[in-house]
Amino acid sequence: MALKKFTLIFTVLCLSLASTFSAKALDWRIAFGAHDIIVEQADSHTLGVGATFSLSHLTQSNILLIGSVDVFVDHDKDKLDPDHIPIWFSSNFRVKGELIRLSADSAFQWEVEASSRRNTVSSVEKQLKLFPGIGYEYDTKNFFAAVKVGAGYYFLEIDDDVPRMRGYDRGDFQNQTGAYTLAADTRFSLGSSFELSAKIQHWNDGSEWLENRYSVALNYAANTWVEDSVFVVSVEHTEYNLDPYAKVAVDDPDYLPILPWDKDTLVRVYIDMPWDF
């Protein structure tokens, strides 16, 4: 109950902060592109198209507001989930500010991040992460590096169709727990037009790992196509720990994981551009 209240308060706070600015005061962007969701353990490739709507704003008190919502439409020919509706969503919202400025290029930061996924082809029915944290950032014109630690709430619900075929019931589909996260990311320029970025993040409930995510992206400043636009090729690989869902001990001969796969990879190619109202 306390967590639900905190989630509601955080959501209302973000909406209240955003509502104090007109649409033109926010930096709105939109992206269009194609993707492939790879589930290697099932030899599955799911192609599709998608769009991302994002915004950012730096307040007068130097608090940075960042938000994005992704909408994906899949060509679901492999049917990993027999009843999958081939439209899925992800979102990420962050509020961050400076704690201690160490130099012109480095500082300690505070941050609250909320992220979610819904209805992926790899059987993630619903995922929610809410993590306040602190981190260190080093940022120059051509190089950025950051590390972060946070503690909060982790929730992952598996879609019901495949687990039911493996003997799992509705009460077995959810794992929700307090957890901590560790993250490190970097980006650096490759000449005047290209930028390479990479990130790794780990989630753990204190007794076992929950999820690992690795991502890399190559950005090309496509100003000759559309002013202030960026062409992006990105890869995001996620590993999930399915042991918390086990109905018997994982070393039991009768143990069968809730899913026959525990990782997926999202490959995207898209162009990101300003969105003027």
B/e letters for 8-27, b = 16+ CB within 10 Å, e = fewer, are eebeeebeeebeeeeeeebe
- Which pLDDT belongs to residue 7? 45
Is residue 35's pLDDT more than 60?
yes
The number of C-alpha atoms within 13 Å of 212 and in the hemisphere containing its C-beta is 8
Q: What confidence category does residue 25 fall into, taking pLDDT thresholds of 50, 70 and 90?
A: low
pLDDT digits (tens, 9 = 90+) for 214-265: 999 999 999 888 889 999 999 999 999 999 999 999 999 989 999 999 999 9
* CB distance 239 to 211 below 8 Å: yes
User: d(Cα 83, Cα 139) in Å, to the nearest integer?
Assistant: 46
Determine how many CB atoms are found less than 10 A away from the CB of residue 270: 20
- The whole model's pTM is what? 0.90
- Which pLDDT belongs to residue 22? 46
- Which pLDDT belongs to residue 205? 97
pLDDT digits (tens, 9 = 90+) for 171-180: 899 999 999 9
pLDDT mean over 170-196: 96
Comparing C-alpha atoms, which of 69, 159, 163, 68 is closest to residue 120? Answer: 159
Q: What confidence category does residue 277 fall into, taking pLDDT thresholds of 50, 70 and 90?
A: low
pLDDT mean over 85-107: 97
Instruction: Give Cα separations from 103 to 64, 97, 106 (angstroms).
Output: 19, 15, 5
- Which pLDDT belongs to residue 276? 79
One-letter identity of residue 1: M
Instruction: Give Cα separations from 268 to 81, 217, 233, 271 (angstroms).
Output: 22, 9, 6, 10
**Strand ranges in the chain using DSSP code E only, listed in sequence order:** 27-39, 44-58, 64-75, 87-101, 106-118, 124-139, 143-158, 174-190, 194-204, 209-221, 230-240, 263-274
Average pLDDT, rounded, for the chain? 91
User: d(Cα 230, Cα 223) in Å, to the nearest integer?
Assistant: 7
Q: What percent of the chain has pLDDT over 70?
A: 91
192 secondary structure, DSSP code: T
pLDDT mean over 152-167: 96
